[in-house]
Structure 1
């Protein structure tokens, strides 16, 4: 490189402070004389030229003269400063000779600092202290991001499980058994078989009575085994938690059939009750239809006995008449209303609300919540919009589904609460004690909507806002897609 370039960098290095002068080695007289001397050379090259002109030896980077100077005692290796004892390394700066040693501060390392060989002054200015506040802030930000990510993953997993639980269980083989295990039957359960009932209808009746585990257990067993037995109308005494095979055997045994008895389950309509009584008591259906034609004969101030024929297990003496049978059922309803201290003037209204609760609620624990929804909607002037009322008014009550047809929802009749405001013009079915109690004592809450999202288990979601209700409806629709034959 040209000498002019070398002189420029030499002057630059000469202006920088030399940390070696802060080392533990005593400064040389020449170095002390050069400090603050205006005539002192401005660069190392100038110092060499000046030394050559005066005949003196140049000063080494360590602040000492070369060993050839006889007037300077030679120090031992142990007496040399640490910084001066570190071998020089070539500099990569342009214009600087590769043979010239680099400043000693570049040679010292952090390892030398930790071993105690050098001080912080030997390796240069220590780094500034860490901003702990900034570090903590960054740490909390990172933590928050991790929490959000994990929360999103967890929320997505919960939504996926709630939405596709049945499909996941089926794919993974995690589906719970549909039938009870053998040997666990206990207690007593009464089941009514009406004329015209088939395997699917009886399967639902067995599950409702607690005999079989699921509504499909008995029917699936018949299909799997290829059986097509004949069922005779009547009331049968079985046990709870029976296997589907054991239940079939019990229904085929004449000893389990009760004579002159009738079992009326909750939620039946007047038409269904009359037919069940005829089948169970071996009584002409025309006699029973005539007996229910005049409600006033039983002290009922209504146009029909719908809702007044109490559901229960009845056993009658031989030779009982149709009128006596109907009076027994009406008297039992009055007894339930009196137990709840319902005024005579309020009986029809209470039975109407109770009948809707009986048809809409799947589990008795939800009866009081459904009652609150009905009351809240009435208080706010909202239409009840209960599918059970639309089905009853249009004649779809017995089609086996919980959804109403478009025609039923639009039909103009006195029971369709999608059209009218307020309660329907009368009960839509016969409620039991629990439904009547719920009609009189609704639960506390602000719910305005509900939907059963699992028709097998009866799981029902209650909502306060329409947006929440829409999410629950989507959950029900997803369940119905996976269970097309479950009465959706």
Structure 2
């Protein structure tokens, strides 16, 4: 359902939803120098000039100048200390310069605090000071905090940086860089083998490395397939963690009839889950296992055999459109209500799939995708798309079979960070919700709108 501007839409051609899968530097308040000083205090140019000019007063000069001038000079000096620039300041090379600067900074903070300026210094540079001095909360978990289970997928070619990110996303480590930082600091060279690893949450970086190197924690011939993946993404994901060539997997999904599926493609039939395939499993064995898992889910939701393709198609739209599982059943009701009333579904996820921009990184649909005449674009066709548009999970399949009760015909996610979604019955209500989304996008220009 489109989140685009409602100005061009009418109740007969209304936008309904869209696919929603898909820092600013703090300004420094600077006190200007007197008119005879051309350089701006705290600027990069001023800092470099201060470092290279022999006439610039040193930081150790006794309290010369007005209080405002001393404040500006202090600001410029601290900016130069904490700034990471490609060009180093021109200054005599001395041993242990960093240690001297740190010592000077600590002394300055103490003196400035006594003089009433400590609060300003801390507000402006507290984070930098804490980082240099090693203060503040640890970026690593403490030993003994590990609990629960976590699955970590390592793909072919992953190095320390990628593994560090994967550990953090799985909840294993406290920060995204602590694992990689540990490896660099301790000069650790490690070979990471692709596959799925069973670890715990809240592990120390050192414990996580030890666990990854323990063969007992590696699931053999395993892969984790996320919900909402397409067939193309699924086979690529499997090839990265299972020792089966991508070309073999791509060939294995070309004939749905080989697996008893009466459909144009296997889109929607490769169930998203954790798999551990037997030794020597072929590409067709892998695909057959995934199709069987889909049939198990359909049976659990009491889907009649004659209705499997329709339910999977609706479930795939729910999977791609809803931001939170709590909204799955409402989105299902919107789809059903629109079908019952003979309205076009107008789901952006279907238009994006048909045009090949399902993973473009934008929540909004391009004009080209929205107007392209293809059998998946529900802005153009009536009813459901030709096939599912992704592989739905258990919850989406259940929602397709059991939509919530309600009169809704529209929905739009008004906050892409929280997933807050507004469901509406009238077009006027939907227009107001779309305006709310547009305002949020203006306030958050880098959020993928």
- Normalized against structure 1, the TM-score is what? 0.55
- Provide the C-alpha distance between the structure 1 equivalents of 2:332 and 2:248, rounded to a whole number of angstroms: 36
* Correspondence for 2:343: 382
Q: Which moved more, 1:387-396 or 1:182-191?
A: 182-191
**Corresponding residue SS for 1:218:** coil
- Indicate how the Cα distance of structure 1 residues 212 and 378 shifts in structure 2: closer, same or farther if over 3 A, else same: farther
| Paired position in structure 2 for 1:49 | none
Structure 1 residue 429 displacement after superposition? 0.5
1:40-79 alignment, distance < 5 Å: none
Contact 1:211 1:247 in 2 (8 A): no
Alignment partner for residue 218 of structure 1, among 131, 151, 176? 176
Task: Quickly say closer, same or farther: Cα 1:381–1:194, change in 2 above 3 A.
Answer: farther
For residues 394-432 of structure 1, the C-alpha deviation after alignment (integer angstroms, 9 at most, x for no partner) is: 111222332221211111111111111211011001011
Greater RCO (Cα-Cα under 8 Å, separation 6 or more): 2
2:431 to 470, 479, 482: 470
How much has 1:308 moved relative to structure 2? Answer: 0.4
Pick from 318, 327, 331: which aligns with 2:288?
327
Q: Deviations over 1:37-79 (max 9, x none)?
A: xxxxxxxxxxxxxxxxxxxxxxxxxxxxxxxxxxxxxxxxxxx
> Does the CA contact (< 8 Å) of 2:164 and 2:180 recur in 1?
no
Inter-partner Cα distance in structure 1 for 2:306 and 2:345:
22
Structure 1, residues 255-304: CA drift from partner, whole Å, max 9, x if none?
Answer: 55433111111111000111111111121111111111110011100111
Give yes or no for the alignment of 1:458 onto 2:419: yes
Map of 2:385 onto structure 1: 424
User: Which whole-Å CA distance do the structure 2 matches of 1:200 and 1:452 have between them?
Assistant: 33
User: CA 1:475/1:305 → structure 2, altered by over 3 Å: closer, same or farther?
Assistant: same
Count of residue pairs the alignment pairs up: 309
Indicate which of 349, 362, 372 corresponds to 2:323: 362
Question: Residue 268 and residue 344 in structure 1: after superposition, are their counterparts in 2 closer, same or farther (change >3 A)?
Answer: same
**For structure 2, which runs of at least 5 residues remain unmatched after alignment?**
1-22, 28-136
Name the Cα RMSD after superposition: 3.8
2:366 corresponds to: 405
Q: Is the Cα contact below 8 Å between 1:231 and 1:251 reproduced in 2?
A: no
Unaligned runs of 5+ in 1: 1-165, 171-176
Displacement, 1:253? 5.2
Counterpart CA distance in 1 for 2:431 and 2:298 is 36
Matched, 1:289 2:265: no
Is this contact kept in 1: 2:197–2:212, CA < 8 A? no
Q: Does residue 309 in structure 1 map to residue 270 in structure 2? A: yes
Partner of 1:393: 354
1:312 is displaced (CA, Å) by: 0.8
User: Cα distance, 1:345 vs. partner?
Assistant: 1.3
Please give the secondary structure, in 1, of the residue aligned with 2:272: coil
How many Å apart are 1:254 and its aligned residue?
6.4
Alignment partners' CA distance in 2, 1:368 and 1:441? 7
For residues 251 and 352 of structure 2, the distance between their equivalents in structure 1, rounded to whole angstroms, comes to: 25
| Cα gap change, 1:397 to 1:250, in 2 (>3 Å) | farther
Deviation at 1:367, TM superposition (A): 0.7
- TM-score, normalization by structure 2: 0.60
Mapped partners of 1:267, 1:390: distance in 2 = 15
Q: Is 1:434 paired with 2:395?
A: yes
1:169-201 deviation per Cα after TM superposition (whole angstroms, max 9, x unaligned): x9xxxxxx9x99767653112243445889999
Name the CA distance, whole Å, in 1 between partners of 2:424 and 2:290: 37
> How much has 1:334 moved relative to structure 2?
0.8
Aligned residue among 309, 314, 324 for 1:353: 314
**Which residue is 2:404 aligned to?**
443
Tell me which residue corresponds to 2:227: 266
Between 1:394-403 and 1:198-207, the stretch displaced more is 198-207
Tell me whether 1:372 sits opposite 2:333 in the alignment.
yes
The residue aligned with 1:34 is none
Preserved CA contact (<8 Å) 1:450 1:461: yes
Give secondary structure in 1 for the equivalent of 2:176.
helix
Work out whether residues 212 and 218 of structure 2, in 8 Å CA contact, stay in contact via their aligned partners in 1.
no
- Cα distance change, pair 406–331 in 1 and its aligned pair in 2 (3 A): same
Cα distance in 2 between the residues matched to 1:369 and 1:200: 40
- 1:194–1:275 CA contact under 8 A, matched in 2: no
Corresponding residue for 1:486? Answer: 447
Partner SS state of residue 421, structure 1? coil
